[in-house]
């Protein structure tokens, strides 16, 4: 006898979007606007939208990019350039409400597997929803918009002696509700944007907070305001134009800065250090804020209003640069022999990449090893049909600038498939590409943060040609991606199918308490 699950109808949609964070919402907006006849669903593992801004609840959590470019091109940002999580969630909620996207989003749906069938030309998606209820769906096109790190856990090194420590150790990514740091001696381990956010956010309430870093990071202190936005608003310019003009101004300034960082690294280095020196004595800058690498080899952390440096100058916080030897009962002992006494340790030491959301992928029954694939412009992969991954910019531009470009590309690609009568799209090496060198996902000489270096062996390969590299150059890609030739031999279409993108009925509205839509 056939099982019940084998005879139940399986819902099919044209496009299935994975993730309802800033990228997934962007994708849903573009589909609803540009492909109104395509059915689509957004599956989100969390209980609500927002992704990063829902998961991270540590004190002061904020963007490290300006919201004029980290926000969407189509939705004006009305606040200060650097925003905190509640403000960003409010903004995303408005996008969902204003564009009627709520009925497309299903929360609490965690995908475990995605299997492509060339016989049926569909992806079969399986996972668990709500209170452990299994679900299954099929789709014609799978759009991975889930981000790139594992939400459930952050990265904490396994230091010797951690079991002997009598205090509490917490990671910002899993910040508990019951953490009490008032009048406590707090040690924050890390030197990036998270550490630079946590320290000033808790400094007023702690007995003292110390930021322990292995090495220095470049910081960019600036007022959390944009002079041009204020000027245009004083002139009563429409907010849509304010957003667009300021967005373009910031993009132009970022481009100029990135170019100077490559052409004049010593000058840019001096300018960045001079910015910190406006807040702190030169000896502190020399000891704790002078990195050993050139600017933009790793992301530069924005410090709005110089708050990190101001709490150091006020004596509420201190910076220590050194290597950890081991944890001891009352704190952390450094290789120098110094012991940093702490009642609470915060490990702002990064995260673990999860490039494909821990989903088990198969193509025609064979498991997909993405490290054996070659990535087309960082978004499509050889041997994996009808699937695209959105990975925004890491370094010299905001994440969402890339997401916007890719969303427009996907909608154009789906339209091209429909006009050709194609049921599948796959990228493949051209004959002239067969002998090109295959390299790690990204050049470590240009970008080498720890989270990426730890995961680089699991990521797709890149080639030594532009088409087969994951570019960090928005200013180049904004001209290339909209004009890509979709009939290039890199794109392989199968045009013999009966079920094509755009032929499926509209997605049904989700029902049940675990499939609620956002309000």
The whole-number pLDDT of residue 2 equals 37
CB-based contact 181:348 (threshold 8 Å): no
For residues 390 and 213, give the distance between their C-alpha atoms in angstroms, rounded to a whole number. 32
For residues 337 and 326, give the distance between their C-alpha atoms in angstroms, rounded to a whole number. 10
From 401, 394, 372, 377, select the one nearest 444 (Cα to Cα): 394
From 211, 218, 219, select the one nearest 312 (Cα to Cα): 211
For residues 289 and 220, give the distance between their C-alpha atoms in angstroms, rounded to a whole number. 11
From 475, 489, 477, select the one nearest 426 (Cα to Cα): 489
For residues 73 and 24, give the distance between their C-alpha atoms in angstroms, rounded to a whole number. 15
CB-based contact 423:495 (threshold 8 Å): yes
pLDDT along the chain (519 residues), means of 10: 47 98 98 98 97 94 93 96 96 98 97 97 96 94 92 90 97 94 97 94 97 94 95 97 96 92 94 96 95 85 94 96 97 97 96 89 96 95 97 82 96 97 96 92 75 82 92 90 96 69 38 31
Q: How many CA atoms lie within 13 A of 13 on its CB side?
A: 24
CB-based contact 96:516 (threshold 8 Å): no
What Cα–Cα distance (Å) separates residue 103 from each residue in 141, 217, 351, 515?
Answer: 19, 43, 32, 9
CB-based contact 462:373 (threshold 8 Å): no
Tokens of 161: 């002696």
- The DSSP bridge pattern shows strands 11-18 and 133-144 to be parallel
For residues 290 and 268, give the distance between their C-alpha atoms in angstroms, rounded to a whole number. 12
- The DSSP bridge pattern shows strands 317-321 and 208-213 to be parallel
For residues 310 and 306, give the distance between their C-alpha atoms in angstroms, rounded to a whole number. 6
Strands (E), 354-423: 360-363, 366-367, 375-376, 380-381, 387-389
Tokens of 88: 């960003």
Q: For the whole model, what pTM was predicted?
A: 0.90
For residues 19 and 29, give the distance between their C-alpha atoms in angstroms, rounded to a whole number. 13
DSSP-assigned beta bridge partners for residue 11: 137
Task: State the CB neighbour count (10 A cutoff) for residue 448.
Answer: 14
Assign 254 to helix, strand or coil: helix
Task: State the CB neighbour count (10 A cutoff) for residue 430.
Answer: 13
The whole-number pLDDT of residue 8 equals 53
Sequence-distant (≥ 6) Cβ neighbours of residue 498 within 8 angstroms: 423
For residues 186 and 113, give the distance between their C-alpha atoms in angstroms, rounded to a whole number. 42
Q: Find the angle CA(81)-CA(83)-CA(87) to the nearest 5 degrees.
A: 125
- The DSSP bridge pattern shows strands 324-328 and 331-334 to be antiparallel
3-state SS of 286-312 is: HHHCCCCCCCCCCCCEEEECCHHHHHH
The whole-number pLDDT of residue 451 equals 77
From 192, 122, 214, 246, select the one nearest 452 (Cα to Cα): 192
CB-based contact 10:138 (threshold 8 Å): yes
The whole-number pLDDT of residue 216 equals 93
The whole-number pLDDT of residue 149 equals 83
Tokens of 241: 């134009």
Sequence-distant (≥ 6) Cβ neighbours of residue 47 within 8 angstroms: 107, 108
Domains and CATH numbers, the chain: 10-151+353-515 (3.50.50.60), 156-349 (3.50.50.60)
Residue 250 has what DSSP assignment? H
**Residue 30 — φ and ψ, nearest 5°?**
-65, -40
């Amino acid at each position: 006898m056939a099982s019940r699950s084998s005879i139940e109808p399986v819902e099919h949609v044209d496009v299935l979007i994975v993730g309802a964070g800033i990228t997934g919402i962007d994708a849903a907006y573009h589909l609803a606007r540009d492909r109104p006849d395509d059915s689509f669903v957004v599956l989100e593992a969390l209980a609500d939208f927002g992704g990063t801004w829902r998961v991270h609840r540590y004190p002061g959590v904020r963007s490290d990019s300006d919201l004029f470019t980290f926000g969407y091109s189509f939705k004006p940002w009305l606040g200060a350039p650097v925003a905190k999580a509640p403000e960003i969630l409010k903004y995303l909620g408005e996008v969902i409400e204003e564009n009627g996207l709520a009925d497309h989003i299903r929360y609490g749906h965690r995908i475990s597997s995605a299997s492509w069938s060339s016989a049926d030309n569909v992806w079969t998606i399986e996972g668990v929803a709500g209170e452990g209820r299994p679900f299954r769906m099929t789709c014609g096109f799978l759009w991975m918009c889930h981000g790139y790190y594992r939400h459930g856990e952050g990265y904490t090194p396994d230091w010797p002696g951690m079991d002997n420590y009598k205090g509490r150790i917490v990671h910002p990514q899993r910040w508990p509700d019951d953490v009490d740091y008032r009048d406590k001696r707090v040690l924050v381990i890390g030197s990036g944007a998270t550490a630079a956010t946590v320290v000033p956010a808790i400094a007023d309430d702690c007995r003292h907070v110390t930021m322990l870093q292995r090495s220095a990071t470049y910081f960019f202190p600036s007022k959390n305001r944009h002079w041009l936005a204020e000027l245009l608003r004083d002139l009563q310019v429409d907010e849509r134009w304010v957003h667009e003009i300021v967005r373009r101004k910031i993009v132009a300034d970022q481009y100029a800065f990135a170019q100077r960082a490559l052409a004049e690294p010593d000058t840019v280095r001096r300018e960045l250090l001079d910015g910190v020196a406006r807040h702190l004595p030169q000896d502190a800058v020399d000891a704790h804020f002078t990195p050993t690498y050139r600017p933009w080899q790793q992301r530069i952390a924005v410090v709005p209003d110089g708050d990190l440096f101001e709490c150091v100058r006020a004596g509420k916080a201190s910076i220590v640069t050194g290597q950890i030897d081991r944890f001891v009962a009352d704190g952390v002992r450094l290789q120098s022999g110094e012991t940093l006494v702490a009642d609470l340790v915060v490990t702002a030491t990064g995260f673990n990449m999860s490039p494909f959301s821990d989903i088990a992928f198969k193509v025609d029954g064979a498991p997909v090893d993405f490290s054996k694939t070659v990535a087309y412009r960082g978004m499509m992969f050889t041997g994996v049909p009808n699937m695209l991954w959105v990975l925004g910019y890491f370094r010299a531009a905001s994440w969402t600038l890339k997401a916007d470009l890719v969303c427009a590309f996907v909608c154009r690609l789906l339209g091209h498939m429909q006009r050709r009568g194609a049921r599948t799209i796959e990228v493949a090496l051209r004959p002239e590409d067969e002998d090109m060198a295959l390299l790690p996902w990204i050049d470590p000489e240009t970008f080498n943060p720890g989270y990426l270096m730890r995961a680089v062996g699991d990521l797709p390969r890149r080639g030594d040609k532009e088409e087969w590299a994951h570019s960090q150059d928005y200013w180049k890609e904004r001209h290339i991606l909209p004009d890509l030739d979709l009939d290039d031999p890199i794109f392989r279409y199968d045009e013999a199918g009966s079920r094509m993108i755009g032929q499926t009925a509209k997605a049904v509205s989700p029902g049940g308490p675990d499939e609620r839509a956002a309000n």
